Amino acid sequence: MERMEKEAAAEAILFATGRAVSTEDLAKAISVDKEEVLELVRDLSERYKNETRGMEIIELDGAWQMCTRKEYYPQLITLELTPKKPHLTDVVMETLSVIAYKQPVTKAEIERIRGVNSDHAVNKLIEYHLVTELGRAKQPGRPILFGTTQDFLRAFGVSSPDTLPEISPVTVADFREEAEAEAVHEESEGADGSPEIDRGEIDESTTIGV
């Protein structure tokens, strides 16, 4: 298969699926290695950017998706082809920020940070497809771990959770250091007789779909 045919095959897959397709799946479908498919799809994405097209190919945390260009949203809205934008209140946005920067995170951890019950906010974020269940923590009761989705990445214009902007005066690293400190503290409490908590373990059967 010639290079142009491979690019065309990748384009057809992204168009037909209508969802994000991982680099590995693209490589398997086109029968090429990962490095070659990365070069192909990046070149294709760049060509879409430089040409006047109604579509674009974007990267989402190691996956690729063909999407409508934002410039043409008004025309799509006229035909009612796009869903209504979810209304994110300050409470919902605050909860989303905690999840985005501390994921994977349990509801108890979210509520400890916010200081209030977060059931409604978390449920709204799941309804808007901005947050999803990632698995269960290795803690008493096996609480659910929450994280962001690919819809979140698209909505906020980031390619992966690792590329989230820094929060002034708190940074992403500070959030992670705080989470690690909490885990160490909880483990030390477990040594004194209380249950040991491993907040980072996710069920192997669960796929993290951010």
| Residue 135 structural domain | 90-191
**29 belongs to a structural domain:** yes
Which of 23-27, 48-52, 77-81, 108-112 has the least mean pLDDT?
77-81
- 36 part of a folded domain: yes
Task: Return the H-helix or E-strand segment holding 57.
Answer: strand 55-60
Same domain for 114 and 139, yes or no, is yes
pLDDT class of 203 with cuts at 50, 70, 90: very low
Structural domain contains residue 203: no
- Rg, the chain, Cα only: 20
> Considering only 21-25, 140-144, 182-186, which range has the smallest mean pLDDT?
182-186
- Tell me how crowded residue 62 is: count the other CB atoms within 10 A of its CB: 13
208 in a structural domain = no
**Residue 71 has what DSSP assignment?**
G
Residues 68 and 100 grouped into a single domain: no
Q: Are residue 20 and residue 64 in the same domain, yes or no? A: yes
Predicted pLDDT of residue 188: 56
pTM of the model: 0.50
pLDDT confidence of residue 204: 39
Shared domain for 108 and 166, answered yes or no, is yes
